[in-house]
Amino acid sequence: MNILVLYAHPVETSFNAGLHRTIVERLTAAGHAVDDCDLYAEDFDPRLTRQERLGYHDQRGPDDAVASYIERLQKAEGLVLSFPVWNYGYPAILKGFFDRVFLPGVSFKLVDGKVRPTLHNIRRLTAVTTYGGSRFRAMLMGDPPRKIVKRMLRATIKPGAPVSYLAHYSMNLSTDDTRKSFMTKVAASMDVF
C-alpha cells in the first residue's frame, strides 16, 4: 500500500519525533511504500495566500504552488498523521496543509452547492498524537483534533475505511513507562496497517 505520512513537529529530539521514526520504520518493514512528508523539514508554507483564496474554487494545475503535495495526497492509499496537539488544535503547519491542499477538486467537489468527498483513494487513516493535558481536559474543550479526524476526514476518504486515533494524553505527567507503552501501541498499529 502507498502510505502518505504527514508529520508535523519541529524538534528532532522530541517524543513526537520518536513516534514518527517508529511509524515510518514499522510501515516500511511491513512492506508498504512510505511517502514520508515531514512538513517542517520540507519547509512547507502553511499560509494560504490571497491569490490562492481568490482562486480557491478554480481547477488545479501543475503550476499550483502545492501541486506536488496534491499529487502525493492523491497517490496515497493510506494516510498517517503524526503530530502534537497544541492549544487544543493542530500545529499551524498541519492546519495550513489542510487549508492549502484539501481543496475543491482534490478532497471534495461541489455538486449543486453540496460537498461530495473525493479522496476515495485513501483506504485507511490513522492519527498518532500527543496532548500535554488529560483526556478529560481535551473533552471539556470538545477535542477538535479528534473530531476532525474521526468525523471530517473520515467523511472525506473512502466510505467505510478504517479510522484510528491513537493519543497519548497527559504528556506533562508522562513517565518512561507511559511513553514506552504508547510507543509499543503505535508500533503494533503500524505493523497491521
pTM: 0.95
Average pLDDT of each block of 10 consecutive residues along the chain (193 residues)?
98 97 98 98 96 88 91 97 96 97 92 91 98 93 95 95 97 96 98 96
Which CATH number belongs to the domain containing residue 95 in this structure?
3.40.50.360
State which residues form the domain around 151.
2-191
Number of domains forming the structure of the chain: 1
DSSP character string of 101-157 = HS-BTTTEEEETTEEEE-BTT--EEEEEEEESS-HHHHHHTT-HHHHIIIIIIHHHB
* pLDDT number for residue 60: 80
